[in-house]
Amino acid sequence: MTEIGKHDALVLLTQAAFIPRLSYFLRTSLGPSQQKSDEFNNELRMGFQKIFNVFFDDKGWKQAILPVNMGGLGLGVVAELAPSAFLSSAAATAALQDKILPMDVAYQDDLRLETFRRWCTVYGDIMDINVCSQKKSNEPSLNVSKSKLEKLNDSPSDKARLMAVRSELGSAWLRAIPSTACGIRLDNGSIRVSLCLRLGLPVVSGYRCLCGADVSQLGHHGLSCRLSSGRQARHSAMNDYICKLFQKADIPAVKEPAGLLSESNFRPDGYTLVPWSQGCCLSWDVTFPHTLAERYINYTAMEQGSAAVKAADFKNTKYKDLNDNTRVFVPICVEIFGPVDKQTQLFFDNIATKIVEKSGDPNDKIYIKQNISLLLQKFNSFCILENIAKCPSVRDPEYCLLSRGEMI
Ligand SMILES: [Zn+2]
147 and 159 co-located in one domain? no
Domain interval for residue 108:
6-152
pLDDT of the residue at 402: 44
Q: Are residues 120 and 262 in the same domain?
A: no
User: pLDDT, tens digit, for every residue of 119-167?
Assistant: 888 888 888 888 888 888 888 888 888 888 888 888 999 999 999 999 9
Q: Which of 152, 167, 194 is the last residue of a domain?
A: 152
Which of 223, 161, 405 lies closest to 215 in space, CA to CA? 223
Q: What is the mean pLDDT of the chain?
A: 87
- The pTM of this model reads 0.86
Q: Kindly report, residue by residue over 211-237, the tens digit of the pLDDT.
A: 888 999 999 999 989 888 888 999 999
Q: Are residues 103 and 71 part of one domain?
A: yes
What's the CA gap between 358 and 40, in Å, rounded? 48
What local confidence, expressed as pLDDT, does residue 327 receive?
Answer: 92
In a domain, 1, yes or no: no
Last residue of a domain, one of 92, 119, 152: 152
- Determine the pLDDT at residue 120: 87
- Coil, strand or helix at 322: helix
Question: For the chain, which ranges sit under pLDDT 70?
Answer: 17-21, 31, 392-408
Q: Are strands 270-272 and 253-255 parallel, antiparallel or unpaired?
A: antiparallel
pLDDT at 408: 35
Distance, CA 293 to ligand 1 centroid (Å)? Answer: 13
Shared domain for 265 and 382, answered yes or no, is yes
Query: 142 alpha carbon to ligand 1 midpoint, in Å?
Result: 39
CA of 218 to the centre of ligand 1 (A): 14
Ligand 1 centre to CA of 233 (Å) is 17
Residues 118 and 204 in one domain: no
Q: Indicate the SS3 state at residue 276.
A: coil
Last residue of a domain, one of 89, 124, 152: 152
Question: Which pLDDT score, from 0 to 100, does residue 113 have?
Answer: 87
